[in-house]
Chain A
Amino acid sequence: MVLIEAKGVHVRFGDRVVLEEIDLSVPEGELHGIMGPNGAGKTTFFNVLTGRVNMSRGRIRLDGEDIAGLSPHAIANKGVARSFQIMTLFDEFSARENVTMALPSFRARGFDVRHALAGDRRIAEEADEVLASVGLGEKSSVVARQLPYGERRALEVAVALAQRPRVLCLDEPTSGLGTDGSRRLAELIRRLKGKLTIVAVEHDMGFLFSLADRISVIHWGQVIARGTPRELQDNEWVKKSNLGRFG
């Protein structure tokens, strides 16, 4: 069942065409990778998918439902979660508080002014569970600003997971991580495979090739290649590009 379907997505900023007639479809449960050089339009595609940027033309559907023009919060409430390339955590909040903000059980109480938040045990426990699943179980009370970089990346993923999404969009999740960090993140994502639909934009080809079911290559705003990792290994462009070195 196709969960995400993008057809003819075309995005212009002024007179600059950033995405040109992009077609992409992601079946439920697939881990779909998106790669390509900087400025190719990968993050813009995410921005379109999550409602942050409007398409000039094209069609984009989530589970058959047209989501073009919806605001980010409306799309998030339909089950799309995303992490950002430039981290956007709530720096003053602790790890637990960051995750709490994402939990559907908390979000439902967003306009509650009658009750105090501090004493709620159940929500704290739920948040701690999510933190444990990304390996941050010990750090739940640490203020996000004070976490080391690798753990902040993990927290970013935790927050996206806490939304209990159907689609998880990861924008360059290994950015800035060393080999160890990337490996841990890859393990985490491998554990999530099949349980969620995942779309991951990445530079780290080794990371993508070991995890993705299929990969789309975007360059100059167009999909220039698509296929399974094995198929792409034989692709001329992939072989020639600087990104063609992985291991």
Chain B
Amino acid sequence: MPNTAAAARLVTPTMVALWLVLATVPLWISKVGLYPYLGVEILIWSMYALAFNLVLGTAGLPSFGHGAYFGVGAYAFGLCQFNLAPNLWICLVAAIAAAGFAGLVVGLFISHRRGIYFAFMTIAFAQIFWTIAIKAYPLTGGEDGLLRIAREPANFGIVAFDLKGNVALYYFVLVLFALVVVALWRLVHSPYGRVLSAIRQSETRAAHLGYNVWLYKLSIFAVSAAFSGLAGGLFAMAQLSAFPDVMSLNQSGLIVMMTLVGGGLVSFWGPVVGVVIFLIARDVIGALTNAWMLYFGLMFVTLVLFRPEGVAGMIKSLLERRALRGQGSNALRLILRSG
């Protein structure tokens, strides 16, 4: 974890630069042969990946069934809209709360474990959630899922924004993305985040120093689930539906792969990089061949073997080596220090 000036800030230059770049995306995305909805997907999955990385990258816990919480968020959003109140804010809160609660319950069962036991438990729970989603037809719509979820307007009292268009939705999600990034950056660089990082490196040592390791693992799992649920709720809204597939182990595996490929094990931004790589691969390479996911999987396996620090990690090492050699501009150094 960089003990740099950036770590102490609430909002870093990298974040601002990223948001500015992201803000311009709808203006040029069609011109490069892509489409605004892709931007929405990138933002939603990035939120999900950043949330997931709290558990994997920061706390060092292998959660292979995180799709469950994303999915719970999506379903909660839809069910809230149909049964409680067709209000955007209420439904998003429902998504966060339901997913966070699911994470808390699962966490109670698994937080005293780590490593292989932990991984298998997360898989088992994901299968349980997925089975319920598929079989509980009256509640979840079974294999078809919940359909006809609507995009309610973002009503701030004095002004309301219609989110039915993808560009409007994009900017709404971008604002939430920015807030999530700020919150997670602070969390990771706070004392709490430092303790989690210590637990990742040595649970034994952390416990013997007086930290209630179980409570830390439980809390981060629940927090991660809650943010994953937020992403899930936004996903349901964007897709206008919620379906079991997002809870499947396949999808859970995708988020693991994206996060690691991007460099989540060593970099805060790794997950975002991974999401961008994955979605671009899906759209660009997917247009050329049906086997694009296979290639992505092979890339994942290769990186795990040879470069587990992922793309962001490789970029970081490259920049560090150049900065050490005195090359590179001040801009490079600025980027480096911003983590």
For B293, what are the chain A residues with a Cβ–Cβ distance below 8 Å?
none
Residue of B nearest to A103 (CB): B209
| Residues of A202-233 contacting chain B, CB below 8 A | none
Contact B209 A101, beta carbon cutoff 8 Å: yes
Q: 1/0 contact trace for B187-218 toward A, CB 8 Å? A: 10111111101100110111111111100100
> In the docked arrangement, what's the CA distance between A82 and B190, Å?
26
Name the distance in Å between B319's Cβ and chain A's nearest Cβ.
18
- Asked if A118 and B3 make an inter-chain contact with CB atoms under 8 angstroms apart, the answer reads yes
Asked if B114 is an interface residue, CB under 8 A from chain A, the answer is no
Q: Is the CB of A117 within 8 A of B198?
A: no
Residue of A nearest to B2 (CB): A118
Which of A3-11, A31-39, A92-100, A130-138 makes up part of the contact surface? A92-100
In this assembly, does A195 line the interface, its C-beta being within 8 Å of a C-beta of chain B?
Answer: no
- Within 62-117 of A, Cβ neighbours of B (below 8 Å) are at 71-73, 76-77, 81-82, 84, 88-94, 97, 101-102, 106-107, 109-117
Select the residue from B190, B206, B210, B213 with max chain A CB neighbours within 10 A: B210
Q: A71-B207, A118-B7 are in contact. Are A101 and B198 (CB under 8 A)?
A: yes
Q: Any chain A CB within 8 A of the CB of B155?
A: no
Contacts of A118 in B (CB 8 A): 3-5, 7-8, 189
Q: Complex Cα distance A97/B211, Å? A: 15
Contact A110 B208 (CB under 8 A): no
Within the complex, which residue of B194, B205, B213, B216 is in contact with A117, where a contact is CB–CB below 8 Å? B194
B205 & A76 in contact (Cβ 8 Å cutoff): no
A117 touches B201 (CB 8 A): no
Given contacts A73-B211, A117-B7, contact A93 B198 (CB under 8 A): yes
Say if the beta carbon of A50 comes within 8 Å of chain B. Answer: yes
B9 contacts chain A at the CB level, 8 A cutoff = yes
Which A residues lie within 8 Å of B216 (CB)? 110
B282 contacts the other chain (CB 8 A) = no
8 Å CB contact of B191 from A50, A91, A92, A106: A106
| Contact A94-B3, Cβ < 8 Å, known A76-B209, A88-B202, A102-B209 | yes
User: Which residues of chain B are near A90, meaning CB under 8 Å?
Assistant: 197-198, 201-202, 205
Minimum CB–CB distance for A131 against chain B, Å: 15
B186 within 8 A of A: yes
Residue from the list B5, B8, B201, B210 in contact with A92, Cβ < 8 A: B201
Asked if A119 is an interface residue, CB under 8 A from chain B, the answer is yes
Across the interface, which residues of B come within 8 angstroms of A76, CB to CB? 207-210
> Which residue, A90, A112, A114, has most C-beta atoms of chain B within 10 A?
A90
Q: Which of B153-209 contact A (CB under 8 A)?
A: 186-187, 189-195, 197-198, 201-202, 204-209
Closest to A101 in B: B198
B207 A110 Cβ-Cβ under 8 A: no
Complex Cα distance, B1 from A97, in Å, reads 10
In the complex the two chains form, what is the Cα distance from A159 to B208 in whole Å?
Answer: 11
Please judge, given known A-B contacts A88-B204, A93-B201, whether A73 and B190 are in contact too, CB under 8 Å.
no
| Residue contact B8 to A119, C-beta cutoff 8 Å | yes
In the complex, the chain A residue whose C-beta lies closest to that of B185 is A116
From B5, B9, B190, B216, residue with most partner A Cβ within 10 Å: B190
- Which residues of B have CB within 8 Å of A110? 191-192, 195, 211, 216
Give chain A residues whose Cβ lies under 8 Å from the Cβ of B210: 73, 76-77, 107, 163
Separation in Å of the A140 CB from the closest CB of chain B? Answer: 11
Task: Please tell me if the beta carbons of B189 and A117 are within 8 angstroms of each other in the complex.
Answer: yes
Chain A residues whose CB sits within 8 angstroms of the CB of B9 once the complex forms? 116
A84 surroundings in chain B (CB, below 8 A) = 204-205
- Give the residues in chain A near B189, CB-CB below 8 Å: 116-118
B10: nearest residue on chain A (CB-CB)? A116
Give CA–CA (A111, B191) in the complex, Å: 7
Contacts of A111 in B (CB 8 A): 191-192, 219
Using A73-B213, A92-B201, A118-B8 as known contacts, say yes or no to A113 and B208 having CB atoms under 8 A apart.
Answer: no
Chain B residue numbers with a CB within 8 Å of A159 are 205, 209
Which residues of the partner chain B approach A52 to less than 8 Å between Cβ atoms?
204, 208
Neighbouring B residues of A106 by C-beta, 8 Å? 191
CB proximity of B210 to chain A, nearest CB, Å: 4
B7 partner residues in chain A, CB cutoff 8 A: 116-118
Instruction: Pick the most buried of A72, A88, A107: most chain B CB atoms within 10 A of its CB.
Output: A72
- Complex Cα spacing A52 to B190, Å: 28
**A–B pairs, 19, beta carbons within 8 Å:** A50-B208, A72-B204, A73-B209, A73-B211, A73-B212, A81-B209, A88-B204, A88-B205, A90-B198, A90-B201, A101-B194, A101-B198, A107-B209, A107-B210, A116-B7, A116-B189, A117-B193, A118-B189, A163-B210
Give the top 10 A-B pairs by smallest Cβ distance, nearest first: A118-B8, A76-B210, A88-B205, A118-B7, A119-B8, A116-B8, A72-B207, A77-B210, A112-B191, A90-B201
Which residues from chain A sit less than 8 Å from chain B, CB to CB? 50, 52, 71-73, 76-77, 81-82, 84, 88-94, 97, 101-102, 106-107, 109-119, 159, 163
Not counting A90-B201, A112-B190, a sample of 16 additional A-B residue pairs whose C-beta atoms are within 8 angstroms of each other reads: A73-B212, A76-B207, A81-B208, A88-B202, A89-B205, A90-B198, A92-B1, A92-B201, A101-B209, A102-B209, A109-B191, A113-B187, A114-B190, A116-B8, A116-B10, A117-B189
